[in-house]
Structures are given as C-alpha cells and as structure tokens.
Amino acid sequence: MAESALKPASRVTHRLVILGTVVAIVIAACGGTTATTPPDESAPPGPTSGPPSEAPSGPVTLRWMNWATTDENIRPWVEDVVAHFEEQNPDIKIESEPVPVSEHLNQLVTRCSAGDCPDIAQVQQNDIFVLQAAGLIAPLQGYDDEFVDSLPDGTVNLASVDGTLYGVTWITAPIGFWYNKELMADAGLDPNTPPTTIDEMMSMIRTVRDQNPDIIGLGIDTTLRDIGVDATWPFMHAFGAQPIKDGKANANTPEMQAFLQWIRDLVANGDTLPGKKFGDFRQSAAQNLQLFFEDGPYMKGLVQGLDSTLTDELFYERWGVTAIPGGAGNGPSAGSSDHQIAIFESSTAKEAAFRFAKYLASDVYAIKTYTAPYGLLPPLAGFEGEVPQLANPASQAFIEMGDVVLVPPYGPQYATSTLPIMANIQRTYSTQDAIETIAIDMHAALERVYGK
C-alpha cells in the first residue's frame, strides 16, 4: 500500500517500521551498537580513538557529504572556502558530495549499510546520536585537544554522547522568530516591538491580514522531520506542552491539546501554509509577503539569494529577529539547529578530516567567506574584529538568544519519536478528528518508542 493511502495512525507505524529497519541494518552491518571509548593517553591510539597510528602516505582525498553545496546561491562561497583549505593543505583534497538536508541522514545510513561511508559529513544534532549508536562515527578526542577545550561547553555537549565528543560544531544556529518591520509599520504596528507572547502574535497577524489577506501570517514547520520537531518545540513550549518528558511519553495533556487546537485554527484561518518546511517560507519572505516566521541565522543569506536587490542595509531595515513568543506559563524561547561535522569510523584519513572540520569552524577566511555572509555564527566568539559582518543586529540578537535555546531530548530514539509527533500535528489540520483523540494517539505512539 502506498504511504499516501494510509490513514494517519497507520502512516506513523509504517514510517517507524521503515526507520527502525534501516537503522537496524546499519547497526548489524557495523557489528553492533557498542559505543567506542575515548583514547587512552598512555597507549598508542587505536582505529576508533584519536589519530591513527599510521597516516596514509601521500595526498589524501576526503569525501565530504554535505547540504551546504546544494543551494546554487551559496555553493560558490563553500567552494571558495574549500579551495582555500586545499591551498593551505596541499596534501588534502576535498571531494564534495551534495545531498539535500531532508535526505542526508537516510543517505548516510543507506550508503554506510552498503559499505560506502564518506570520510566526513555535515550533520544535524540528533544525527550524532543516531550515527554513534550505529557505531558509524569516530570519537574526536586526541586530535587537537587544545582546540576542543576552547569550544563553548554548550556546543560540546550538543555533539557529545555520554561525555565523548563525536562532532565539531561548524555553525551555531538557534531557530529564532523573524519579523517583517515594513509590514508591521504599514499596518500601524510598532516595527520595533515584536510580539513576546502567542496572543500578541495572533493579534498582530489579525491586524496585518485584515488589511492585506495576501500576507502569510506565520511560517511554522509542520513536516515529518526531526528538525520539524526541533523547530516546533518552542511553540509547544509556549503552551506548556512537552511530548517527551523524563524519557517517557507526555503527549496526552491539556497543554498539548491546546497547542494542537492552535495549529488547527492557524491553518483553518489561513494564517499559515500547512505541510511546509520552515525554509519554504523564505520565498514569500523574499517577496515581502511574510509577516512572521521561524528560521535560523542562515535565513539572511538564503533570502538575499532569492532577491539580488536586497542589500544588507535593506535587509536589516526590513527584518528583525528575536526569540519565539512564549505563553502564559513559559517565556520566549528559541529552537536548536546547530550544524556539526562528523568523522566516520571507516575513514582512513581521520586526522586530515579533523583538520578540515577545525578549519571550517575556526578559520578566519572560512568565517569571512561563508559563515558571516550567510548570516551564520561560528562556534567560537571573538572574531568580530577580523570579520566585521558578524557585528550586525541579527547576529547580536541570535547571540542573546543563547540563554533561551530549548534542546529537545536528543538520543537514538528521538529520530523515531519525531514521526508520531509531526504526523499527529498534521492530523489536526488534515482531518476533523477530535483534538483529544489526536493527543491520545500521539501519546500511545510515543509509548511504543519509549515504553510506558
């Protein structure tokens, strides 16, 4: 039966079986799920800890799977960064393998199950836990401990499993709340006072859309992806909803029902477009038809790529960013979407791969050429003097959001648990099922993942 023909609850089970089977295949191919251990400093490093005892002779070619080069507007910046690295490191060549962000984890799992892992890959936070549980990625202690020690604790913790580092944070990217100051001003609203609560936000959406129904009020991710949950988590938080709590299902609550009803009303009133990734709203943002939407700091570079007339000056005149509005019980918050670089156990050039990862994260040329123009933030502070592009209103706003970033309960089960969460969110606007029933079904599906 095709997936589109399945009822919502059946679709959840169907996807859980597929994902569970794929991960199981990889784990079996890798000989189990035993986690590798940090290197013993008193012994020569082995193949799964620290630099290999014998580096490959001669130049090495690193296969780098990433989604950074899939965007035609951004690709030249990344290629420039790679070319500079190769000039500085003539013994290393980078072979880029572009894969869309929505497909990258499945591609990694599928290729590795066939014995075709890349050397290095751009990944998102929960990917670290999935790939580590499958024994696919290498611990990173022992390559450059001075550099690792210089990284902020928050970025290290997000890329660590049981205290062992498995990823180098390339960019820090909270998911914030972008607001269109021009559209707010045109509707008589104060463009310098964005909403801080859901109620304030909905009131502003009503004011703007009553005057111009073509405006999309809110861009919110409602897709069947783990990053969809990452992005939606702050909105659930605003209602006090927390579908997973203390390692258990927690979806059958009045708070979750209130959130689901809000989603249903949002779609029914035409205030958002359903079934969209948060990145899908960048097109309407570039057309100046988007009032509010959730997105990371990378939004700037992508929207400017869609509108060549949108200079930095015009961009900051039009757009501001702040934390996602809160609710009666919880204040404003931000989502989590950092990008990491992971090195694969099967690579015979781990030291070279780590050099490339460190370069992407901390080299001034890389930050000046890609990170800052894209509107992103490097994991390390202190580059503002050498990279003036970082001293802009959006970057400063994202830095201030650091204290309110919500981190979902990442782990091997998270990728599986996101599917019933998002599928049942989709049920709220695609069916007339009772909200109470949807919350009960979400809870039951999560119990099948986490146990009762």
CA distance 291 to 269: 15
Q: How many residues does the chain have?
A: 452
Predicted confidence at residue 373, as pLDDT, reads: 87
Confidence of residue 225 (pLDDT cuts 50, 70, 90): confident
Predicted confidence at residue 17, as pLDDT, reads: 41
Dihedral (CA of 33, 422, 277, 191) sign: negative
Asked if residue 30 has pLDDT above 90, the reply is no
Asked if residue 19 has pLDDT above 70, the reply is no
Supply the mean pLDDT for the chain.
Answer: 88
For residue 377, the one-letter residue type is L
% of the chain with per-residue pLDDT over 90: 73
Confidence of residue 222 (pLDDT cuts 50, 70, 90): very high
CA distance 144 to 370: 23
The SS3 call for residue 111 is helix
Exposure pattern of 258-272 as b/e (b: 16+ CB <10 Å)?
Answer: bbbbbbbebbeeebb
Predicted confidence at residue 403, as pLDDT, reads: 84
Confidence of residue 46 (pLDDT cuts 50, 70, 90): very low
Confidence of residue 56 (pLDDT cuts 50, 70, 90): low
CA distance 81 to 281: 28
Kindly state the average pLDDT of the residues 134-145.
Answer: 95
pLDDT tens digit sequence for 382-398: 898 899 989 889 998 99
Strand locations in 312-415, DSSP E?
Answer: 319-322, 335-336, 339-343
Q: How close are the terminal C-alpha atoms of the chain, in Å?
A: 30
Q: Give DSSP secondary structure letters for 127-150.
A: HHHHHHHTT-B---TTS-HHHHHH
The residue ranges of every structural domain in the chain are: 17-28+56-173+338-404, 176-334+413-450
Exposure pattern of 403-435 as b/e (b: 16+ CB <10 Å)?
Answer: ebbbebbbbbbbbbbbbbbbbbbbbbbeeeeeb
CA distance 132 to 33: 8
Kindly state the average pLDDT of the residues 172-185.
Answer: 97
Q: What fold does the segment set 176-334+413-450 form as a domain?
A: D-Maltodextrin-Binding Protein; domain 2 (3.40.190)
Paired strand residues for 247: none
For residue 64, give the DSSP letter: E
Alpha helices by DSSP H, 58-152: 75-88, 104-113, 125-133, 145-150
Predicted confidence at residue 88, as pLDDT, reads: 98
pLDDT tens digit sequence for 332-349: 999 988 999 999 999 999
φ and ψ of 141, to 5 deg: -65, 145
Asked if residue 94 has pLDDT above 90, the reply is yes
For residue 346, the one-letter residue type is S
> Tokens representing 187?
């509707």
For residue 166, the one-letter residue type is Y
Q: Do domains 17-28+56-173+338-404 and 176-334+413-450 have the same CATH topology?
A: yes
Helices (H) and strands (E) in the chain, counts: 18, 14
Q: What fold does the segment set 17-28+56-173+338-404 form as a domain?
A: D-Maltodextrin-Binding Protein; domain 2 (3.40.190)
% of the chain with per-residue pLDDT over 70: 87
Predicted confidence at residue 55, as pLDDT, reads: 54
Predicted confidence at residue 131, as pLDDT, reads: 96
> Tokens representing 410?
């990442």
Asked if residue 121 has pLDDT above 80, the reply is yes
Predicted confidence at residue 312, as pLDDT, reads: 92
Kindly state the average pLDDT of the residues 44-70.
Answer: 70
Which residue would you say has higher pLDDT here, 222 or 24?
222
Asked if residue 181 has pLDDT above 50, the reply is yes
Predicted confidence at residue 10, as pLDDT, reads: 40
Q: Alpha-carbon dihedral of residues 260, 328, 210, 212, nearest 10 degrees?
A: -80
Asked if residue 366 has pLDDT above 90, the reply is yes
Predicted confidence at residue 50, as pLDDT, reads: 58
Kindly state the average pLDDT of the residues 233-256.
Answer: 97
Would you put residue 370 in left (φ > 0), alpha (ψ -120 to 50) or beta?
alpha
Kindly state the average pLDDT of the residues 251-278.
Answer: 98
Dihedral (CA of 392, 397, 403, 404) sign: negative
pLDDT tens digit sequence for 315-325: 999 999 999 99
The SS3 call for residue 335 is strand
Which residue would you say has higher pLDDT here, 425 or 385?
425
pTM listed for this prediction: 0.79
CA distance 155 to 170: 10
Identify whether the C-beta of residue 91 lies closer than 8 Å to the C-beta of residue 84: no
pLDDT tens digit sequence for 190-212: 999 999 999 999 999 999 999 99
